[in-house]
Structure 1
Amino acid sequence: EEMAKDVVFKATAQLGAVSYETKVIPVVFFRDSAVSLLEAFSPMFLGDALVKNKTLLKGKEGQAIASPLLTVIDDGTLERGVGSLELDAEGVPSNRNIVIEKGIFKGFLHSVYTAVKCNAKPTGNSVRHGYKSLPTSGIRNLYIERGNHTLEDLLRAYDEVFLILDLMGLHTVDPISGDFSLGASGIIYKSGKKEKAVKGVVIGGNILELLKNLVGIGEDLRMYGHVGSPSLLVEAITVGG
């Protein structure tokens, strides 16, 4: 029933969508759009990326990289989680690993191989994509911890807010630099009320700047496969018409 409500909302809310001018505006990522963004940038948390020097988080352990509101967890023990197993692909017990805690980057997600290469401990994040493939580090059940705001609260936080319902071009994001430029569509809200649906716009920036500008987290956490997120309010993003 909840899935049906989301589908109907997204399908009907964007009827009659128009173009939009270029401006810097507060943005709410609807929960499945936030999931898409988190999944696209998830390689930057992996030990394999660290070993290959392909992550912008190298050397940032213990540093503030995001808003203090943000906590990101990868939990291989999550009840009914798609990625939950007692052991990972190398026989290491699964763990609940805090990746970002109140904005502080806590560390990478390691397989045995990447842990040895980096002089770290395995985190239970070894995965195999098939019986012919070698184990590699990967996410298990990665999610952003829920906040205490309703979606309506987030949409009323500023005079004008862009609710992003769909993102396009996620394969083009760069986990090494953190830069992204994505097509987007959604709804413009003014004073918490829908003004118009928009399409054909582009949002751009850097993932760390986006995480630092996070000013509100919704209570509507939902898992989509092995990645989950609530809706997220970001103070300012450049939206190109």
Structure 2
Amino acid sequence: MHDTSLAVDDATHAFEALLPERAGNLEDAAYEGIRKALMEGRLRPGQSFTLRGLAQAFGTSPMPVRDALKRLVAERALQLLPNRSVMLPRMSRARFQEILQVRLSLETMITERAAQRIAPETIEAMGRDHEDMCLAADAGDKAGYLAANRRFHFRLYEAAGSVVMLPFIESLWLQVGPYLNQIFKPGAGRIDTADHHHMEVLRALRRGDGAGAARAIWNDLSSAADGILIDNDFSGDSE
């Protein structure tokens, strides 16, 4: 059974590297920081944390954090508990599978569109993200690996210039991000880099081959999902 509590020190560790510049709106800064933590798999399904702990982690008053959490609860990324703490909900296997099917459709579609618009410098930045993933894998740095993976994917998706698909994809990543930790098996040693899938994406983008890049993204998402579905860290409820 997982420890579902998240102490203040753990919250600080999970969020401190994700705080954006806070010259502007504190609520937006807290929202973006928590979003990144979820999408990068820094927290596990079933973990809970308090408003006060998050406010301390962000170095702000509770109000902007409370408003940010309300937005994430509305997006189904978090669940509000009766004791006023917040939990990362576990989902059923059926829900995870359904989200996967939607992701396979949307993320391949946006990839094919991006391949016709992406700038050479963006492809090279994705190449550096992939290098960062490999370095993190060699160092056993799961947080660094998942952060670089998110950058790789969203540089690509943002290059599509889609105002319709991108928000849906972000919402789906918010829900499945906490499950990404499960692709790392205890005692497995070096993190699997899924090197060939990302290299296939980069080669296809350099060729301007949208269909090839979309196939590589499909393979990448499927491979990660296979690793997660082997485990049984899903809720038993039907949804």
Q: Same fold judged by TM-score > 0.5?
A: no
TM-score bracket relative to the smaller structure: under 0.3
Structure with the higher strand share, 1 or 2: 1
Which structure has more relative contact order (CA 8 Å, sep 6+)? It is 1
User: Please, what TM-score do these two structures have when normalized by structure 1?
Assistant: 0.25
Greater helix fraction, Structure 1 or Structure 2: 2
